[in-house]
Amino acid sequence: MTIKNTEKVSKIKKIFFLVSILIALGILALFLLDHVLLALAGLGVFSMWYLYFHVADYQYIEYSDDADKIILRYYKVISFTGKAYNSIEFPKYRLRKALFEDSFFGKLSDLTLVIKTDRGIAEYPTVSLAGLTVDDRKRIQESLNSIIKN
């Protein structure tokens, strides 16, 4: 099974940049019209807008459990420092735990994978699943749980 969130990530990115541009133009217009207090309030709104996307940590996700490997590729959707592509890849038999942590009324979800290595147990960095639909999150959870049970 392969799960990708390309379409949703594209929509999230467009919404973020479109609304950001509209807020910035509104702030600029308020400054030009000498409404400094309203412009500063607009800066506060923009800060909250940016903070939300930073906390939500929307990521492009590509999950695959085909063949004998689990592959999870991901990168941040909203990043001003450039894309940092990450990939997790390991044989299925090494998976020991898949920890799912929901927050913000189930809207945000994180995944931590724990595997057995030759030197002991290793935990991969947490990956945000906020950019996936609830159904895709459940499919990944069911897939990983079935692999752990086998």
- Closest CA relative to residue 133, chosen from 54, 58, 66, 76: 58
Please give the pLDDT value at position 149: 84
Please give the pLDDT value at position 67: 83
Higher pLDDT, 105 or 71: 71
- Beta-bridged to residue 138, according to DSSP, are none
pTM higher than 0.85: no
Coil, helix or strand at residue 128: strand
What is the average pLDDT across 98-122? Answer: 87
- Beta-bridged to residue 91, according to DSSP, are 69
Per-residue pLDDT tens over the stretch 60-97: 999 999 889 999 999 988 877 777 889 999 999 999 99
Please give the pLDDT value at position 106: 65
Confidence at 110, pLDDT banded by 50, 70, 90 = very high
Please give the pLDDT value at position 108: 80
Per-residue pLDDT tens over the stretch 8-61: 999 999 999 999 999 999 999 999 999 999 999 999 999 999 998 888 889 999
Please give the pLDDT value at position 79: 78
What is the average pLDDT across 109-114? Answer: 92
Identify the sign of the CA torsion 8, 86, 123, 52.
negative
* CB atoms closer than 10 angstroms to residue 48: 9
Coil, helix or strand at residue 72: strand
Please give the Cα distance from 86 to 89 (Å, whole number): 10
Two tokens at 14? 């467009």
